Amino acid sequence: MNILITGCAGYIGSIAADLFLSKGHQVVGVDNFLTGYKKPIEVLKKKYGDKFTFYNADLKEDLSPIFEKESVIDVVVHYAASCVVDESMTNPHKYFQNNPDSELNLVETMTKYGIKKIVVSSTCAVYGEAKYVPIDESHPTNPNNVYGESKLMGENIVRWYGRLKGLNYIIFRYFNVSGASEDGVFGYSKNPSTHLTENAVRSALGIAPFFLTYQKVDTADGSPIRDYVNVLDLNEAHIKAAEYLIGGGKSEIINLGTGDGSSVLEIVGKVKELTGKEFDVKQADKSREGESAKLVALIDKAKTVLGWQPKRTVADSVKTLLVWYKNNPNGWEE
Residues acting as catalytic residues: 147
DSSP annotation of 50 reads: G
Q: Which of 186, 176, 177, 230 is nearest to 323 (CA)?
A: 186
With beta carbons less than 8 A apart as the criterion, state whether 320 and 181 touch: yes
Query: Could you tell me the CA-to-CA distances from 25 to 2, 7, 179, 185 in Å, in that order?
Result: 6, 17, 23, 19
* Residue closest to 146 by CA, chosen among 213, 86, 217, 215: 86
Contacts with 239 (C-beta within 8 Å, 6 or more apart), sequence order: 19, 20, 23
For 115, other C-beta atoms within 10 Å of its C-beta total 21
Alpha carbon 257 to its chain centroid, in Å, reads 11
Length of the chain: 334
Residue 255 is inside which H or E element, if any?
Answer: strand 252-256
User: Closest Cα to residue 125, out of 104, 105, 153, 102?
Assistant: 153
